[in-house]
Structure 1
Amino acid sequence: MSAGSPGAAAAPSGAPFGARLAAAMDEHGPLCVGIDPHASLLHAWGLPDDVSGLREFSLRVVDALGGRVAAFKPQAAFFERHGSRGLAVLEEVIAAARAAGSLTIVDAKRGDIGSTMGAYAEAFLADGSPLAGDALTVSPYLGFGSLAPAVELATATGRGLFVLCLTSNKEGFEVQHAVRSEDGTERGTSVAALMATHAAVLNAGAEPMGSVGLVVGATIGDAVAATGTDLVAVNGPLLAPGVGAQGAGERELATTFGEARRNVLASSSRAVLGAGPTPEALVSAARDAAREATDALRG
């Protein structure tokens, strides 16, 4: 097991995140492997639920799959629950993925206002920060404008953002489907559609796609149509948990994403990680998941 240096992160090289992600998806398939060190997965791999197990698990995944998948998505919460030493492991994971030539989307879902959002942006998007991967998930539910510090810093450093838009949890509709009306009626624009419109403005003219993406669950059925959300116009990557073995096949994906399917990055964690701990088993599971995602999204 190799370890990446937890020192300061280098700036992403060359093209903006959207272009780099598109190239990685073309080369490896539209699959993002989540690194979610649940206690149950650590146990299944024969590892202790402590910092040593966290480190062993996470770096084994990067060692096995680095340079073989379009991106990794470490879930920050599973590192944070181990305190400062867990965050140090997250820094190692980001550095190791970079050394292996793989993109990293840090799944931290940060969202706040003013200087606090600015501090989050510096932590996860600034050149020189050891927590800065290639992209960050963010929550817009204090208003899309509250994300301005993250948008500005991601643009300046060539990194990307994935904005929560339509999620598969049953409570999500309470906010995401809500309609903003100017006259007190139920006519207006849904919150989800507004998120997509903001992203589309930021991505306008970008080729092959912009760097501000959305998180859209693959198992949300007709929610895209029901909320009037234009995913094609977004012109950015769509991070989609729930593709393939997790529930959504070609028919469901056609309903959810329609003509935007080619911009979908399928996220898989337990379907791949559950095949471990051997490198060979992880590679085989990731290859199968990437093939399944490619067939469903680009067939």
Structure 2
Amino acid sequence: MEFVEAVASRPPLVLGVDPRPELHGPNPLAHIRRYTLELLEALAGRICAVKFQAAFFEALGPQGFTLMHELIVGARVLSLPVIVDAKRGDIGSTAEAYAKAYLQAYPGSALTVNPYLGRDALEPFFNAAQASGGAVFVLVKTSNPGSGLFQDLPLEQGGRLYQAVADYLAQQAEQQRVGEWSRVAAVVGVTYPEQVTEIRQRLPHSLLLLPGLGAQGGQAIKGPGLLNSASRALYYPGGEPDLEAAVRQAEEYLAALR
């Protein structure tokens, strides 16, 4: 099934997986593997996708990177849509390699992408998503407090830089529609609710990934195609691995999103 169709049919909550080895005892990789797979199974009916933060796995070395790919396969066995949060973005040939590594290797999955290098750096991801039934979540207005340093810069022709990115994506999204939604999607921090509303208007057919729920202080935002994403607050409820607490936390978020 296409990524956008699979996600749109499920509850609008995303589990972010950001493993911290210090919380997993003397054999952290084995415990991260077991805990994550058990958590995915416990939350499978309560989330629309699982988002693997590549940096946390890369920080664990080659074995960590291998573990991320093992967990991606595990999520797909559970029929869970996958988002690889790697924020890739480079010149065309390198973008093609990144697209092959994540979108083509896992058909029906999604990747986060940085738009800073421009159109020719984005097109390989869009093309790969179309060929693989995946999706591309492009950074528009990110959840971190310092995002405005560049994203909010005023432009000579009017508006802000993030708005120009959103308007460009709106054009691309129309060419990548799969029914109601497009394979061209956007990342907008749930920590900026006014911008979420504004960007939804600019991108009416794009799924919006809304990181920042919970630990970053963001509150759930309801609406069609709004995928609220919680990482630490859902993966480590109470600051530690806890399956039962994670299920309770997911239910609380879903209650707020109904």
8 Å CA contact retained: 2:15, 2:230? yes
Shift of 1:89: 0.8
Please say which structure displays the higher CA radius of gyration. 1
Contact 2:108/2:133 (<8 A) preserved: no
Query: Normalization by structure 1: what TM-score?
Result: 0.76
1:220 to 192, 216, 224: 192
Show the counterpart of 1:156.
131
Same amino acid, percent of matched pairs: 37
Aligned-partner SS, 1:47 = coil
Structure 1 segment 54-203 matched on structure 2, within 5 A: 54-126=32-104, 129=105, 134-181=109-156, 187-203=157-173
Structure 2 equivalent of residue 18 of structure 1 = 4
Structure 2 residue 179 is matched with structure 1 residue 207 = yes
Query: Aligned equivalents of 2:119 and 2:129: distance in 1?
Result: 15
| Kept after mapping to 2: 8 A contact 1:105/1:136 | yes
* AA aligned opposite 2:202: A
The answer as to whether partners of 1:244 and 1:289 remain within 8 angstroms in 2 is no
CA-CA distance at 1:111 after TM superposition: 0.6
Q: CA deviation at 1:233?
A: 3.5
1:232: which partner in 2? 201
Q: Which amino acid aligns with 1:101?
A: S
Once the 2 structures are TM-superposed, how far is the Cα of residue 49 of structure 1 from its aligned partner?
Answer: 6.9
Unmatched runs of 5 consecutive residues or more in structure 2: none
What amino acid is the match of 1:236? S
- AA matched with 1:233: R
> What is the 5 A alignment of 1:277-292?
277-292=241-256
Q: Deviations over 1:152-182 (max 9, x none)?
A: 011111100110110132332122112343x
Opposite residue 135 of structure 2, the aligned amino acid is G
Instruction: Please report how far the alpha carbon of residue 20 of structure 1 lies from its aligned counterpart in structure 2 after TM superposition.
Output: 2.1
AA of the residue aligned to 1:116? T
Per the TM alignment, residue 203 of structure 1 is displaced from its structure 2 partner at its CA by 2.2
The aligned residue for residue 228 of structure 2 is 266
Partner Cα distance (2:199, 2:248) in 1: 35
Aligned-pair CA distance for 1:206: 4.4
Distance between the aligned counterparts of 2:135 and 2:181, measured in 1?
Answer: 11
SS in 1 for 2:143: coil
| Residue type of the alignment partner of 2:146 | E
Q: How many residues align?
A: 253
- 2:13 counterpart residue number: 31
CA contact (8 A) 2:3 2:133 kept: yes
Q: Cα 1:34–1:48, aligned 2, differ >3 Å: closer, same or farther? A: farther
TM-score by length of 2: 0.87
Asked if 2 retains the 8 angstrom alpha-carbon contact of 1:125 and 1:159, the reply is yes
CA distance in 2 between partners of 1:161 and 1:104 (Å): 12
RMSD: 2.5
Q: CA offsets per residue over residues 66-105 of structure 1, 9 Å max, x none?
A: 3431111111111111122111111111111111111111
